[in-house]
Structure 1
Amino acid sequence: MSICPAITPPSNVPKATGTVEIAEPSGKLTLADRQLFNHLLAHAYRRLITDEWHTVQMSEIRRFAAEARGGTPENDNRRMKDSVKRLQATVVEFNYLRSDGGRVWESSPLLSTCRIDERLGSLQYSFPSGLRERLVEPALYSMISLRVQWEFDSKYGLVLYETLKRYADRDAAQPWWSVKTSELRDLLGCRDKLTDWKDFRRRALDPALEEIDRLAEFRVLVIETRQGRGRGGGQVVAVTFQIERKPKEDAAATVRELDKPKVQRRGERRAKAEDIVSAVATRKALHFLTGAEAGTRLKWVKRAEAMGIELPKAASAVENLARWVPQIAVALVAEERIR
């Protein structure tokens, strides 16, 4: 058995069209599984056809991921082993677009035999023979940034980023991608999950687009195609993703965002979300108390005093509510069950 020497993976990996559009309908692959697959592909890419076996130090993968995320590397291989096993066990189907434009359907496991040498701390792995040719298809590919792919928090975001990146890289004034909703569900691993379109958009598609907007060098507009009659204009049967490259100043802001530690970015997003919740609660609470009876306003004045909030004179007067209500707005809205 010939094993190639360990090499440092490139910062980007060309990912062939077929593998970018992997459809794993069951959704068993996790975000970490997909990130690991990209990393292993990048490490082996230059020797993918010539060498059956490839070797990588597991500490390098953990360190690379930790640096991209702005965190501390894990100190064991348990999670990586779990990911390897899922990649081996998952039979994926993917649509492959040949250089002549013909479409081909194939299925394959993503990884073949793997071997971890605990003493050396190395992972030896191989790709299925029928898959290797597809992984290096020279005609159509997408250049995936390993650094960016480790930054994603959801697999929906990563999968959609990889797919749309191929269209964003095209030399077109207005790149776009149209897809049936059934194919999009399979691509994101939601064939039997989030079956209601509104739930699918709210919990899978919209969060994925939000991540892409923060992390990628492009942003995306979604246009729904509806068919039939009914509320909202019928059933959504297809979507078109219109891709827009970010202006220089916005692209520079994205780079600055990536330079922040991941923990900091999460904290900032959480604080922003809390600010939005607080602002909405304040608006509702003020509207409620402004139209409430004097007794209700006095009740909440006493509640605010009990909470240790410093109140102005004549705190229950309508003109003074805005000076103290924001500090108790969330509690007021919850207790009064204001919608």
Structure 2
Amino acid sequence: MSEIRRFAAEARGGTPENDNRRVKDSVKRLQATVVEFNYLRSDGGRVWESSPLLSTCRIDERSGSLQYNFPSGLRERLVEQALYSMISLRVQWEFDSKYGLVLYETLKRYADRDAAQPWWSVKTSELRDLLGCRDKLTDWKDFRRRALDPALEEIDRLAEFCVLVIETRQGRGRGGGQVVAVTFQIERKPKEVAAATIRELEKPKVQRRGERKAKAEDIASTVDARKALHFLTGADAGTRLKWVKRAEAMGIELPKTASVVENLARWVPQIAAALVAEERIR
């Protein structure tokens, strides 16, 4: 038990405790956790099962031992090797997105198959259920932008494989109809790309978050600069002169004849964020 308390303290960045209060609370949370299985029988019939994660648990404070049991039905699933893959705990720990972690664990099963190009095809409704988005992000574009794409981006950075998504559309309409299914084509990373992934995993999580934030800010500033330049290039002389004066007030060093279209690129990017916001450019 002392080793468990020490490990838990290191994980949360605290100091070990002398009692088992936190361990007991964790055990009770695990006992309250429900595990669900959804699978297809060989005849194509769907089966749903649920079970608590843990059944009886026992802490012997004199011997310092923790004993726990899995429910009998769950034990049968845990020893069924065909359901599982070797999931790297190191990779799991590095995910920030819950969507990324769930999708990684699912795709890892297919990535481990002995196939030239593993793939997984799934209905969009089932994919939403898997990622916990049954009743939210109902528009496919929102679901893709806020759930699926961030998950794929994390997998691409952290996993030993990368993924290509192919949408299946049905019906008519803008964009070719409604997306009803997706196929994930899984490719194992080449040696040099895999080495870059390992280097990424070796970075502290805080460092990776900072790098992603800086990259996002760089992209945003580039987009704002393009918008601002496009706006002022087509604006009248009075509007350009107004922003020349604003730039001067902000302490920006300006070229002579700053309002001339040919000189805009030399100073507009420095005030692009303010210009885009105030002019309400979309």
Q: TM-score, normalised by structure 2?
A: 0.85
Shift of 1:182: 2.0
Whole-Å Cα distance in 2 between the matches of residues 327 and 72 of structure 1?
A: 47
Q: Deviations over 1:163-205 (max 9, x none)?
A: 1011111111110011122221221122222222222111111
Post-superposition Cα deviations, 1:108-156, rounded to whole Å, max 9, x if no partner, equal 1223345678999986543222101211213442110000000000111
Supply the distance in 2 between the matched residues of 1:314 and 1:223 (Cα, whole angstroms).
51
Would the aligned equivalents of 1:69 and 1:151 in 2 still touch at CA under 8 Å? Answer: no
- Percent identity reads 94
Q: Which moved more, 1:312-321 or 1:98-107?
A: 98-107
**Could you tell me whether the CA contact under 8 Å between 1:96 and 1:104 is conserved in 2?**
yes
2:54 aligned with 1:132? no
Instruction: Report the Cα offset of residue 336 of structure 1.
Output: 0.5
Provide, for residues 260-317 of structure 1, a one-character-per-residue CA deviation record: whole Å limited to 9, x for no partner: 1111111111111000010011111111111212221111111111111122222222
Structure 1 runs not aligned, ≥5 long:
1-57
How far 1:63 sits from its partner (Å)?
7.7
| Residues 216-225 or 313-322, more deviating | 313-322
Q: Distance in 1 between matches of 2:63 and 2:274?
A: 56
> Measured at CA, do residues 75 and 207 of structure 1 come closer, stay the same or move farther in structure 2, by a change above 3 Å?
farther
Q: CA deviation at 1:227?
A: 2.4
| Secondary structure class of the residue paired with 1:105 | strand
Aligned-CA RMSD value = 3.7
- Cα shift at 1:233: 2.6
Structure 2, unpaired ranges of 5+? none
Q: 1:319 to 1:74 in 2, by over 3 A?
A: farther
Greater RCO (CA < 8 Å, at least 6 residues apart)? 1
Q: Indicate conservation of the 8 Å contact 1:88/1:110, yes or no.
A: yes
For residues 212 and 318 of structure 1, the distance between their equivalents in structure 2, rounded to whole angstroms, comes to: 44
How many angstroms apart in 2 are the aligned matches of 1:62 and 1:265? 28
1:190–1:119: structure 2 CA closer, same or farther, 3 Å change rule? Answer: farther
CA gap of 1:216–1:75, structure 2 versus 1, over 3 A, is: farther
Please give the per-residue CA displacement for 1:190-240, whole angstroms capped at 9, x wherever unaligned.
Answer: 222222222211111111111100000111111122223333333222211
Counterpart in the other structure of 2:4: 61
| Aligned-partner Cα distance in 2 for 1:213–1:325 | 35
The total of aligned residue pairs comes to 282
Q: Residue by residue, what CA displacement relative to the aligned partner does 1:29-85 show, whole Å, maximum 9, x if unpaired? A: xxxxxxxxxxxxxxxxxxxxxxxxxxxxx8867987998999999999999877655
Verify the 8 A CA contact 1:69 1:150 in the aligned structure 2: no
Q: Distance in 2 between matches of 1:133 and 1:190?
A: 29
Q: Max radius of gyration: which structure?
A: 2
Shift of 1:89: 2.9
Residue aligned with 2:47, SS: strand
